[in-house]
Amino acid sequence: MPAITEKELIEDIKKADFKSVYLIYGNEDYLKKYYSSAIIKKAVTDFEDLNLHRFDSSVKVDDIIAAADAIPMMSDYSCVSVCDYNFASADETEVEKLVDLISDMPEGCVLLLRLEQLSITPSKSAKAKKVFDAVKKYGALVELNLREEADLVRMVTKRAASRSVNLQPTGARYLIRVCGSDITNLFSEVDKLCDFVGKDGIITEKEIDALAVKTPDEKAYRLINAVCARDVERVYTMLADLAAQCVDSIAIIAALSSAYVDMYRAKVAESEGKNAESIGADFGYGKNAFKLKYASQNARKMSVFTLRKALNILRETDIALKSTQLDPRLLVDKTVMQLIQLAGER
């Protein structure tokens, strides 16, 4: 059985027709936990204490084998759930035993291997490749990654609706932009906003601005907007807020640098007649290609040459922050003033 899609996994769960082994991985933590729990809930129909065996990263394969050999007691299946077992760095003997188990799983048992905090790339490890190949042949690989913006909009608006709160798609997109695309974090923010506006309330950008915890990228985006608008008062109010929040100066410069790199890429792409978002795949933006759309709006106000000068200034500041005893906040303030001056050049 090759890698399966999320839709195919949902069908397995609905029908309670499970493969003998699943390897669930990817960069979307919420979905990995959600579907792992759904498999367990559907597979273990009774006597969970006897039929569900949970292990963490410290497990030995012999313990997994012993649990898998246990016969289901008054349940459709037994389930062995293993979280973050690092088979890429395990002893060769342990890996071979795991591969042997995967290739000949006891009937009535579902082995669930989940990579939650651990990231394993089979192309970089012969041991990992053995396990991935075995699961691909005898079970199912399930890769769950960050969702597209449209999917996230549907999810968060549905979450709000379940609390009898009105969150329109426009507001949902704004929430995603300011809070990021991690589902666990988004749901937490939606729940907080729902508690604030109450039943039958409406979540607007005003509530999101007041209550939502912004990502570093979003803080940088807002700061860049103010810099490009040459709004000195707003810029230094934001810098004062960042200082009050004890945000590290190196992190501020790193976020600004990332934003200017986005602007530079968008500017060069458009100068070659390309849509800014279309180059997202070339630079590994993945689901975050929408950042280039926002970057292009500010990039239009500056030349390629000006953007290069800005990147050089940011690089020099980064070096100074890491190699001198100069006051970090003064370095950041000076750098931002230089960026504001550059924003006036064409």
pLDDT, tens digit (0-9, with 9 covering 90-100), for 109-157? 999 999 988 888 888 889 999 999 999 999 999 999 888 888 999 999 9
* Same domain, residue pair 85 and 206: no
Q: Where are the beta strands (DSSP E) in 98-201?
A: 109-114, 140-143
**For range 284-308, the mean pLDDT:** 79
More confident residue, 4 or 24: 24
Pair 83, 29: CB distance under 8 Å: no
Q: Where are the beta strands (DSSP E) in 59-122?
A: 78-83, 109-114
Q: What is the span of the domain harbouring residue 167?
A: 149-176+186-211
- Beta bridge mates, 54: 81
Q: Where are the beta strands (DSSP E) in the chain?
A: 21-25, 52-55, 78-83, 109-114, 140-143
CA distance 39 to 43: 6
* Same domain, residue pair 129 and 247: no
* Same domain, residue pair 132 and 154: no
DSSP conformation class of 58: T
pLDDT computed for residue 286 by the predictor: 66
CATH for 74: 3.40.50.300
Residue 181 lies in a domain: no
pLDDT digits (tens, 9 = 90+) for 248-284: 889 889 988 988 998 888 888 888 887 766 777 777 7
DSSP per residue, 280-338: GGGGT-GGGTHHHHHHHHHHTTS-HHHHHHHHHHHHHHHHHHHH--S-HHHHHHHHHHH
pLDDT digits (tens, 9 = 90+) for 65-107: 999 999 999 898 999 999 999 999 899 999 999 999 999 999 9
* Same domain, residue pair 94 and 60: yes
pLDDT computed for residue 213 by the predictor: 80
3-state secondary structure of 168: coil
Over its C-alpha atoms, the chain yields an Rg (Å, rounded) of 25
pLDDT digits (tens, 9 = 90+) for 18-51: 999 999 999 888 999 999 999 999 999 999 999 9
CA distance 245 to 239: 10
* Same domain, residue pair 35 and 93: yes
* Same domain, residue pair 224 and 195: no
Q: Is 76 exposed, middle or buried (0-12, 13-18, 19+ CB in 10 A)?
A: middle
Residue 119 lies in a domain: yes
pLDDT computed for residue 2 by the predictor: 60
CA distance 223 to 217: 10
Residue with tokens 């209550």: 211
* Same domain, residue pair 34 and 125: yes
Pair 138, 103: CB distance under 8 Å: yes
pLDDT digits (tens, 9 = 90+) for 164-195: 999 999 999 999 888 888 898 899 999 999 99
pTM comes to 0.67
Number of domains into which the chain is organized: 3
pLDDT computed for residue 1 by the predictor: 47
Sign of the torsion angle spanned by Cα atoms 182, 184, 187, 193 = negative
Pair 80, 72: CB distance under 8 Å: no
* Same domain, residue pair 164 and 240: no
* Same domain, residue pair 32 and 128: yes
Residue 1 lies in a domain: no
* Same domain, residue pair 228 and 292: yes
* Same domain, residue pair 73 and 191: no
Q: Which amino acid is at 178?
A: V
* Same domain, residue pair 38 and 64: yes
CA distances from 265 to 20, 25, 230 (A): 46, 31, 22
Residue 64 lies in a domain: yes
Percent of the chain with pLDDT over 70: 96
Residue 46 lies in a domain: yes
